[in-house]
Structure 1
């Protein structure tokens, strides 16, 4: 069964609500311009109270140095770094390939060969937007995601909601789905009813 990641967690109540519908991954956004930003020290307060089997993911966008990413992971307790900006191979290696999810913001064209040997444990396929890094509400390119998923572990993101998630899983067959804006009341605040609807859709 496809795994579930709920991103944009800003409070303990939403973290528990996500876990109750089957989330195995929780995303904490450490990118200050994001409306879903949470300080690493605040994320630590939440993470410290969560079940040990939950994989907590820190979301980063173009931090100046990979050392900064590693430091924030240590402060927050996040086990995995989702690099959602323009980080290159060397940057990912420095953070540690085995704990990197590299986000790919894919438009109409994408060179699949560019992923060969890329130092990441998995890739996250998101919709392309000139100004925004994630949380756009736009649907990603499922055709490209399907091709990537044939060879590597893929987290499918981009405008996923209870209404389209079962079709997305059928088409792409990803390792995991990543939901954010599609299960919110407002940025950074999850909607429990939408989370429950998502669980039903994933089990359909």
Structure 2
């Protein structure tokens, strides 16, 4: 199981994530978010990471010129499109900065079905997404809500590797071991406050995910 810790704003938290063996760290470039960082802050955080730890840039409906400027300023490996971007927009934007990318789908338990989720994943797979991230739907927010969706809507035999997000913490992440997923993504579940991580919760989360290594 691969682990992404998301929403970093503090350098000390980056060091903790590395020491605990996180596979990826996420930096949020969406100003309304309490976890948002500026490009200058982000570059300092990114520069502290060793090789083989991926930096994921989370963007929400970001214009192409702004994304190009971001890529020129901050060192990152993967774009996480977390807004209303359609498959063609994701493909075009990622090509403009020559980056791999993943798309977050916000799953509405009352509207989505297993078939509709699978169909959406196929659409993004067809245009070059590296993975898909499944998060809980919220009418006013694009993510970071701490809410879970119905995990029975996670398809088996997905066209893309699935990363699960939404309401995960050290107490419930062990239950994801039997799900057809590639990785997990956590932000609020390892925090003391928005954008400030709790080292004890980070460690507990990693222990629950990778118990065979601890």
Q: TM exceeds 0.5?
A: yes
Whole-angstrom distance in 2 between the partners of 1:159 and 1:47: 25
Match of 1:22 in 2: 21
Match of 2:163 in 1: 155
Match of 1:139 in 2: 148
Which segments of structure 1 move beyond 4 Å, counting only runs of 4 or more?
Answer: none
Q: Are the counterparts in 1 of residues 156 and 180 from structure 2 also a CA contact under 8 Å?
A: no
* Structure 2: 5+ residue stretches without partners: none
TM-score (norm 1): 0.92
Whole-angstrom distance in 2 between the partners of 1:90 and 1:167: 34
Which secondary structure state, in structure 1, belongs to the residue aligned with residue 57 of structure 2? strand
Which secondary structure state, in structure 2, belongs to the residue aligned with residue 16 of structure 1? helix
TM-superposed deviation, 1:149: 6.0
Q: Are the counterparts in 1 of residues 14 and 48 from structure 2 also a CA contact under 8 Å?
A: no
Whole-angstrom distance in 2 between the partners of 1:124 and 1:52: 23
Match of 2:38 in 1: 39
Q: Are the counterparts in 2 of residues 58 and 73 from structure 1 also a CA contact under 8 Å?
A: no
Match of 1:101 in 2: 102
Q: Are the counterparts in 2 of residues 66 and 91 from structure 1 also a CA contact under 8 Å?
A: no
Whole-angstrom distance in 1 between the partners of 2:157 and 2:184: 12
Whole-angstrom distance in 1 between the partners of 2:157 and 2:27: 24
* Residues paired across the two proteins, number: 200
* Structure 1: 5+ residue stretches without partners: none
Q: Are the counterparts in 2 of residues 149 and 174 from structure 1 also a CA contact under 8 Å?
A: no
Which deviations, in whole Å up to 9, do the C-alpha atoms of 1:128-178 show, x marking residues without a partner?
000111110001331222x066431111100100000010232x2311110
RMSD over aligned CA atoms reads 1.6
TM-score (norm 2): 0.88
